[in-house]
Amino acid sequence: MIVSPPAEIGMPLAEVDTPALLLDLDAFERNLTRLADRAKRMGVRLRPHAKTHKSPVIARRQMALGAVGVCCQKVSEAEALVQGGVADVLVSNEIAGARKCARLAALAREARIAVCVDDVAHIEALSAASVAYGVTIDVLVEINVGGNRCGVEPGAPALALAEGIAKAPGLRFRGLQAYHGSAQHIADFAKRRDAAASAAAKARETRDLLARHGHDCADIEGAGTGTYAFEGTSGVYNELQVGSYIFMDAHYARNLDENGRPVSDFEHSLFVYATVMSKPARDRAAVDAGKKALAMDSGMPTFADLRDIEYTAASDEHGNLKLGETNRPLVIGDKIRLIPGHCDPTVNLYDWYVGYRGDRVEALWPIARGPGY
The least distance separating a second copy from the CB of residue 99, rounded to whole angstroms, comes to 6
Applying CB under 8 A, the span of 37-45, 128-136, 218-226, 281-289 interacting with a second copy comes to 281-289
Count Cβ atoms below 10 Å from residue 75 Cβ, excluding itself: 24
User: Residue 148, interface with a second copy (CB under 8 A)?
Assistant: yes
What residues numbered 260-279 form the site for a second copy, per CB under 8 A?
Answer: 275-279
User: Residue 149, interface with a second copy (CB under 8 A)?
Assistant: yes
User: Residue 289, interface with a second copy (CB under 8 A)?
Assistant: yes
Task: Compute the distance between CA of residue 82 and CA of residue 373 in angstroms, rounded to an integer.
Answer: 16
Do 92 and 68 meet the contact criterion of CB atoms below 8 Å apart? no
DSSP E strands, the chain: 20-24, 45-46, 70-72, 88-91, 112-117, 137-142, 171-177, 219-222, 239-240, 270-281, 284-287, 302-303, 309-314, 319-323, 335-339, 352-357, 360-366
- Rg of the chain on CA atoms, in Å: 22
Task: Compute the distance between CA of residue 241 and CA of residue 184 in angstroms, rounded to an integer.
Answer: 12
User: Residue 90, interface with a second copy (CB under 8 A)?
Assistant: no
The one-character DSSP state at 152 is B
The least distance separating a second copy from the CB of residue 203, rounded to whole angstroms, comes to 16
152 vs 229 by CB, closer to a second copy: 152
77 vs 231 by CB, closer to a second copy: 77
Q: Hey, is 331 helix, strand or coil?
A: coil
257 vs 283 by CB, closer to a second copy: 283
Contact pick of 97, 235, 262, 358 for a second copy (by CB under 8 A): 97
Cα–Cα distance list, 259 to 10, 140, 227, 250, 256 (Å) = 43, 37, 16, 19, 8
The least distance separating a second copy from the CB of residue 233, rounded to whole angstroms, comes to 26
Pattern 290-309, a second copy, x by CB under 8 A = -xxx-xxx------------
Do 279 and 325 meet the contact criterion of CB atoms below 8 Å apart? no
User: Residue 56, interface with a second copy (CB under 8 A)?
Assistant: no
Contact pick of 13, 35, 95, 126 for a second copy (by CB under 8 A): 95
User: Residue 152, interface with a second copy (CB under 8 A)?
Assistant: yes
Contacts 24+ apart (CB under 8 A), 192-200: 192/226, 192/227, 192/230, 192/255, 193/227, 193/230, 195/146, 195/227, 196/227, 196/230, 196/231, 196/234, 197/230, 197/234, 198/145, 198/146, 199/145, 199/146, 199/231, 200/230, 200/231, 200/234, 200/236, 200/237
What residues numbered 189-248 form the site for a second copy, per CB under 8 A?
Answer: none
The least distance separating a second copy from the CB of residue 266, rounded to whole angstroms, comes to 19
47 vs 279 by CB, closer to a second copy: 279
User: Residue 14, interface with a second copy (CB under 8 A)?
Assistant: no
36 vs 57 by CB, closer to a second copy: 57
Task: Compute the distance between CA of residue 38 and CA of residue 266 in angstroms, rounded to an integer.
Answer: 12
The least distance separating a second copy from the CB of residue 315, rounded to whole angstroms, comes to 6
The least distance separating a second copy from the CB of residue 97, rounded to whole angstroms, comes to 6
What residues numbered 18-37 form the site for a second copy, per CB under 8 A?
Answer: 18-21
44 vs 295 by CB, closer to a second copy: 295
Do 90 and 45 meet the contact criterion of CB atoms below 8 Å apart? no
First to last CA, the chain: 17
Pattern 333-372, a second copy, x by CB under 8 A = x--------x-xx--xxxx--------------xxxxxxx
The least distance separating a second copy from the CB of residue 147, rounded to whole angstroms, comes to 9
User: Residue 317, interface with a second copy (CB under 8 A)?
Assistant: yes
Applying CB under 8 A, the span of 22-30, 150-158, 225-233, 356-364 interacting with a second copy comes to 150-158
